Amino acid sequence: MNDVRTRPLTEAEFDAFRWRTICAYAAAHVRAGDWSPERAEVLATKETDALLPDGLATAAMVLIGAETAADGLIGIAWVALQQEQKVGAWIYDIEIFDEYRGRGYGRILLQAVEETAREDGCETVGLNVFADNTTAQRLYESSGYELAAMHMRKRLR
């Protein structure tokens, strides 16, 4: 685990990240009951592209890659740094690829995000996590994140 290094994402990595993020975000919203399967990909694409209109060059957005010498890229984090209308940084996505999970890499990537935010002058880092993602919830709670809001729903059928 000591061989993990973080660095900015490359353009080629961004293209793969964008598509993977759209698919995962759409699927998570379908599982949560927010979006219909028929419209989920369109909605996820629209939201992602609105947040990253200039890709890697989008102002106040940082995409960090985590890699090992042996495996190359093993995960990616997407964070918005402090902006005029928001206080603190916001993690839009943090992912360790499936085959590398459970090795502590997520914690290292989360710490890199926090350090980037700290260096930018942010006093807080926030994020959303879907209710079915208990592994991520445990990581955030054990890293000092506190519940700030709760979105609830009741299915009627």
pLDDT tens string 31-62:
988 999 999 999 999 999 999 999 999 999 99
Alpha helix (H) residue ranges in 2-155: 11-32, 37-51, 105-119, 134-142
- Residue-wise pLDDT tens digits, 95-137: 999 999 999 999 999 999 999 999 998 999 999 998 888 999 9
- 142, amino acid identity: S
Question: Looking at domain 5-142, which of 3.40.630.30, 3.30.450.20, 3.20.20.70, 3.30.70.1230 is its CATH number?
Answer: 3.40.630.30
Residue 22 has a pLDDT of 96
What is the greatest pairwise CA distance in the chain? 50
- Residue-wise pLDDT tens digits, 3-24: 899 999 999 999 999 999 999 9
Interacting residues of 21 by C-beta distance below 8 A, sequence separation 6+: 44, 48, 78, 93
Given a cut of 80, is residue 2 above it in pLDDT? no
Domain boundaries, the chain: 5-142
